[in-house]
Structure 1
């Protein structure tokens, strides 16, 4: 995998390339990144660049024998470790290596839910167990077969638990020419003993522009849809892809129209909206409600006088500003957010969507039209 195929992260790419050029590669690195930001492809591209036989100025050649093996994830000196679901037939990560390779080669942007779907998870808990730790120690004790540097990429070391202490000596004093790359999402969940032995490389979430550009090029969406989905995904490319594949169109237009129905107390229109929303399917309903929560949080920033922090695209921002000026107040927006979050919770638990959306619609009327807020909420007049 080459840096050039990875979306965004130009600063991180340059930083990684410079460590190779200046021969200051830390033997244990922790790539700390939010989900969907591209940490896994970055780690693979970094390892490929390190072992490339004909390095370019900013990327591996993609053609030498080492690169060709890296592209298929079959290089004998490239090792992976990751959470798995132990069973009688699955004792270490190697036992599901083919499933791992297939998933990464199909799409290197994935999360634990996607990985779980590739395996026979049943009701078991995923972890990186002591047997896997011992297997890592064994693999890395051998000499490199072909490459100058052996590389172990561990995805989600948060799943190590106390078993990870078995790796401490290996991480602190590894064999010569050995590189550990740990890819984590939550620094607080990593064993402090491991954390203290690694150099942290912070990988930011993707920008809205980068996600929008990807959606426009890869998904055939309109610019308006791509901008909306990018806003909703908030830098998570995994979520952006899911939205592009399975969501109803024009989230912003539909949501603001719904708010206006509540403000105008158009009950027949609200009932018609409820009937339509009930047909969307659970994932689309969840995405719509999540969009509403994010949209109203941006409105709260406008109402609080922090317009410079708003991330809405220009046209949607103008609509949000009008709603905030003429319809909403801060307590009202907060109350509606509370109703939408409750609705999202119940949709996840298979609530009847027709009843649920009608109930939320009537709550909108109470909050926006009649200014009746939930108990405990203080209403502040403009």
Structure 2
């Protein structure tokens, strides 16, 4: 994994390269990010750059013996730790190392759902247990086999259980030429004793422009499609890919038309919409609802006079301005967002889609036509 393989994050790449050039590599680092920002790939590319035999000013060479092994995740001085699902056959992370490598070779933009699906874990509880902590200490006590630096990349240290205290000493006083990189999503879920021993690098969300360019280049989307998907993904490349995989609807037009039907009180039109929405499939239904939530939040910014913060694509922005001027007000937007969030919650839990979208449509008419914003409404799909 080279820096050039990672989408966007140019400032972070330059910062990491500079730490190597100036020999300012902290022995314990925490890459803090959101899902889909590329933090895991950055950690791997950083480790590869450190151990590259012919590094350039901007990246590892990709061709030396060290880089070739890093590209396949088989370098003897590169170690991974990650949450796993313990069983009689799986005691520590290395017991599912082949599955981990296979996943990374396909894609380093992964989240816990991706990993769970790879292991067919269903509803099992994942963690990084005490046995894994002891295995880490054992592996890092050995001298480096080939590279100058042994590297341990721990993905999602939030899943460490109480055995994490066993790692504190080795993280604070590691063997010579040892680097810990923790890749996390939730700082508040990491043990404070562990957090205090690391240098934090915050990895921002990907920009809409970076995701849009990626979708146009890799998935041959039109600029309009790519702009809509990047807006909905909100900096998460995993989400953007999921939208490309599952998307079958023009959410921008569909959602605007749905709001107009609610404004007109067009019950017959709503019934036709409900039949159509019920046929989309669960992922597309969730995408539609997520789009609606994001769209209305942008409308709320327009209604609040914060036009400069709105990041809708141009054509969709024009629709949002018209709806905000002629249909919506802030309490109405907030009420509809609450309805959509609740509907998304129930779709994820396999609610009957026809009943659900009928109920939400009726609530939409009630909210828009009668400006009624009831709290704690009893829904017919509960």
The alignment partner of 1:96 has SS state of helix
The alignment partner of 2:201 has SS state of strand
The alignment partner of 1:31 has SS state of strand
Could you tell me which residue of structure 2 aligns to residue 258 of structure 1?
258
Could you tell me which residue of structure 1 aligns to residue 276 of structure 2?
276
TM-score, normalised relative to structure 1 = 0.97
Cα root mean square deviation, aligned: 1.2
Structure 1 stretches of 5 or more lacking a match? 378-382
Contact (CA 8 Å) 1:148, 1:177: kept in 2 or not? yes
The residue correspondences of 1:195-210 to structure 2 (distance < 5 A) are 195-210=195-210
Instruction: Figure out how many residues of one structure are paired with residues of the other and give that number.
Output: 377
Contact (CA 8 Å) 2:158, 2:184: kept in 1 or not? yes
Task: Using the TM superposition, give the Cα deviation of residue 220 of structure 1 relative to its aligned residue in structure 2, in angstroms.
Answer: 2.1
The alignment partner of 1:128 has SS state of coil
Could you tell me which residue of structure 1 aligns to residue 194 of structure 2?
194
TM-score, normalised relative to structure 2 = 0.97
The alignment partner of 1:320 has SS state of helix
Task: Using the TM superposition, give the Cα deviation of residue 279 of structure 1 relative to its aligned residue in structure 2, in angstroms.
Answer: 0.5
Which aligned segments of 4 or more residues in structure 1 are displaced greater than 3 angstroms? Answer: none
Contact (CA 8 Å) 1:110, 1:238: kept in 2 or not? yes
Change (3 A) 1:122 1:324: closer
Could you tell me which residue of structure 2 aligns to residue 137 of structure 1?
137
Instruction: Encode CA deviations 1:143-166: one digit per residue, 9 max, x unaligned.
Output: 000000000000000011221110
Between the aligned partners of 1:268 and 1:188, the Cα distance in structure 2 is: 49
The residue correspondences of 1:222-301 to structure 2 (distance < 5 A) are 222-301=222-301
Could you tell me which residue of structure 2 aligns to residue 367 of structure 1?
367
Could you tell me which residue of structure 2 aligns to residue 33 of structure 1?
33
Could you tell me which residue of structure 2 aligns to residue 159 of structure 1?
159
Could you tell me which residue of structure 2 aligns to residue 18 of structure 1?
18
Could you tell me which residue of structure 2 aligns to residue 64 of structure 1?
64
The alignment partner of 1:167 has SS state of helix
Between the aligned partners of 1:122 and 1:204, the Cα distance in structure 2 is: 30
Contact (CA 8 Å) 2:130, 2:161: kept in 1 or not? no
The alignment partner of 1:183 has SS state of strand
Task: Using the TM superposition, give the Cα deviation of residue 376 of structure 1 relative to its aligned residue in structure 2, in angstroms.
Answer: 8.2
Could you tell me which residue of structure 2 aligns to residue 175 of structure 1?
175
Between the aligned partners of 1:54 and 1:242, the Cα distance in structure 2 is: 37
Contact (CA 8 Å) 1:224, 1:250: kept in 2 or not? no
Instruction: Encode CA deviations 1:87-132: one digit per residue, 9 max, x unaligned.
Output: 1100000000000000011010010011011114244210000100
The alignment partner of 1:108 has SS state of coil
Could you tell me which residue of structure 2 aligns to residue 349 of structure 1?
349
Instruction: Encode CA deviations 1:329-379: one digit per residue, 9 max, x unaligned.
Output: 1111111111111111111121111121112112111111232322489xx
Instruction: Encode CA deviations 1:292-319: one digit per residue, 9 max, x unaligned.
Output: 0111111111111111111111221121
Instruction: Encode CA deviations 1:207-238: one digit per residue, 9 max, x unaligned.
Output: 01111111111112222111111111100000
The alignment partner of 2:17 has SS state of helix
Between the aligned partners of 1:259 and 1:296, the Cα distance in structure 2 is: 11
Contact (CA 8 Å) 2:83, 2:155: kept in 1 or not? yes
Between the aligned partners of 1:122 and 1:249, the Cα distance in structure 2 is: 29
Mean CA deviation greater in 49-58 or 358-367? 358-367
The alignment partner of 2:30 has SS state of strand
Could you tell me which residue of structure 2 aligns to residue 380 of structure 1?
none
Instruction: Encode CA deviations 1:171-214: one digit per residue, 9 max, x unaligned.
Output: 00000000000000011110111100000011000001111111
Contact (CA 8 Å) 2:116, 2:122: kept in 1 or not? no
Mean CA deviation greater in 62-71 or 117-126? 117-126
Contact (CA 8 Å) 2:152, 2:179: kept in 1 or not? yes
Instruction: Encode CA deviations 1:51-82: one digit per residue, 9 max, x unaligned.
Output: 00001111000000000000000000000000
Structure 2 stretches of 5 or more lacking a match? 378-382
